[in-house]
Amino acid sequence: MAASICVNFMNIWYIHPYAGSPKYGMSFRPYYLAKHFNKLGHNTTVISSLKHHLCSLPFKKPGLADVEGVQYFLQNSIDYKGNGVKRLLNMLMFGLGLFRKPFRTFSKMTPPDVIIASTAHPFHLLAAKYYSKKYNAKLILEVRDIWPLSLQELVGISKYHPLSVLINAFQKFGYKKCDHCVSLLENSESFFLNEGLKKGKFSCIPNGIELSNEPENNSEHLSLKSELTAAVSNFDTVIGYTGALGIPNNLMPLINAAEKLKKHNIGVLLVGDGVQKKALEERVAELQLDNVVFFGKVPKTFVPYVIESCDAMFINAMPKAIYKFGISPNKIFDYMMHDKTVFNGINSPNNPLEKAGCEINFLANDSFSLANKVIDFHKNKENYSVNSSEFVRLQHSYAQLAKNYVSLMESLVR
């Protein structure tokens, strides 16, 4: 039997192999939702890997840990770098480790009413289903990336590749065995129904932002602010980007557009790092551009100052059909909270930018069209007033998303 019958209190397991926290690194969603679940009167444990590539937790031993006020169970796993065999072993160890004695002991101490199994990868779905059946708990499959379609379209792996076949088998198992499916992607229900999800078992609870995060003022920030001001103050208009400088982010069209923007004293600010940085820098040198600023990686707490320094923001991706199912990158909510117009090259209907009325669309690889639209914005900035922050507060705060999630969980547990 589950730990509690009364719907007013729930023991919630949130299984996410790459969970982090504001202090230690991504992923942030499990931490913030767990924090707000607890504020609503429930008991939440985030179940994650002790070692993963998105954050550096300070704990040396697996087991229960307090991570910035939220209870985590950290499953032992192998360390890795990049996308090689060790990363796959890390994934498999995480899923298999949930059947081992340390976690079984934890499960007896805190049996769940609801298990949220978030598929940053799907290798823990067998364990999630096992424990949901053992404790008569409801199983929610949370889908951020559509596996293995994301691998096939964004990485180029064949659907017949053994890894693709294996992931597909786990994912289909999840669609068929879950009590409900929550996706971060607005338009994805039809895909899940075709994969085996039963009608009426889908909800969209998108990504969000933590409104209580206030910009910090410290000596490092003061130094960075001084550097940032010096880097962009001479431009009449600044178009900004924050995040990974990777191939999937498709930043080259913005660099190519900067050649035309230079004549209008429009600057491009790229804040972040990644594998594509060298190629972008080489293109800037080739075009002899002095209006593109590479600022490097900054603390997350400094990002608000970056956005404040820009007149508009930029987001893009390689043109892929998968985006028709929806987009929900964290950075767009940061942009929207500062009421910024966002140049968006991702063809994804019904996305948050569109709903809030703060996007300017362009074709992902059309630098000529992008340049013209940026120049039009530059000439008519006073006409581009948006109030996207109010939309985010009402629709995308983690506090509100947690309330939506709890309402769903209560309806399942009744």
User: In this predicted structure, what is the pLDDT of residue 216?
Assistant: 64
pLDDT tops 50 at residue 201 = yes
pLDDT tops 50 at residue 269 = yes
Lowest mean pLDDT among 83-92, 122-131, 250-259, 377-386: 83-92
Q: Which helix (H) or strand (E) holds 268?
A: strand 266-271
Q: Which residues pair with 268 in a beta bridge?
A: 239, 292
Of how many residues is the chain composed? 414
Label residues 345-378 b or e (16+ Cβ within 10 Å = b): bbbbeebbbeebebbbbbebeebeebbebbbebb
User: In this predicted structure, what is the pLDDT of residue 213?
Assistant: 64
pLDDT band at 78 (very low <50, low <70, confident <90, very high): confident
Assess contact for 251 and 280: CB atoms under 8 A. Answer: yes
Burial class (CB within 10 angstroms; exposed 0-12, middle 13-18, buried 19+) of 403:
middle
Distance separating alpha carbons of residues 238 and 148, to the nearest angstrom: 38
Q: Which residues pair with 142 in a beta bridge?
A: 118, 182
pLDDT tops 90 at residue 390 = yes
Q: Is the dihedral of CA 326, 145, 249, 336 positive or negative?
A: positive
pTM value is: 0.88
- Beta strands 114-118 and 11-15 are parallel
pLDDT band at 5 (very low <50, low <70, confident <90, very high): very low
Q: Name the residue among 122, 124, 162, 112 with its Cα closest to residue 145.
A: 122
Q: Which helix (H) or strand (E) holds 67?
A: strand 63-67
- Beta strands 292-294 and 359-361 are unpaired
Q: Give the C-alpha distances (Å, rounded to integers) separating 146 from 125, 150, 183.
A: 15, 6, 9
pLDDT tops 50 at residue 4 = no
Label residues 16-42 b or e (16+ Cβ within 10 Å = b): bbbbbbbebbbbbbbbbbbbbbbeeeb
| The residue type at 82 | G
Phi, psi of 39 (to 5 degrees): -65, -25
Same fold, 11-208+397-413 and 219-394: yes
Label residues 73-102 b or e (16+ Cβ within 10 Å = b): bbbbbbebeeeeeebbebbbbbbebbeeee
Strand order in the sheet with 359-361: 292-294, 266-271, 237-242, 312-315, 341-344, 359-361
The CATH class of 219-394 is alpha beta
The CATH number of 11-208+397-413 is 3.40.50.2000
Phi, psi of 48 (to 5 degrees): -145, 180
> Which is higher by pLDDT, 158 or 136?
136
Average pLDDT over residues 65-81: 92
Distance separating alpha carbons of residues 104 and 106, to the nearest angstrom: 5
Q: Which residues pair with 141 in a beta bridge?
A: 117, 181
Phi, psi of 344 (to 5 degrees): -120, 115
Average pLDDT over residues 161-186: 94
Assess contact for 305 and 216: CB atoms under 8 A. Answer: no
Pick the most confident of 75-89, 121-135, 157-171: 121-135
Which sequence spans correspond to the domains of the chain?
11-208+397-413, 219-394
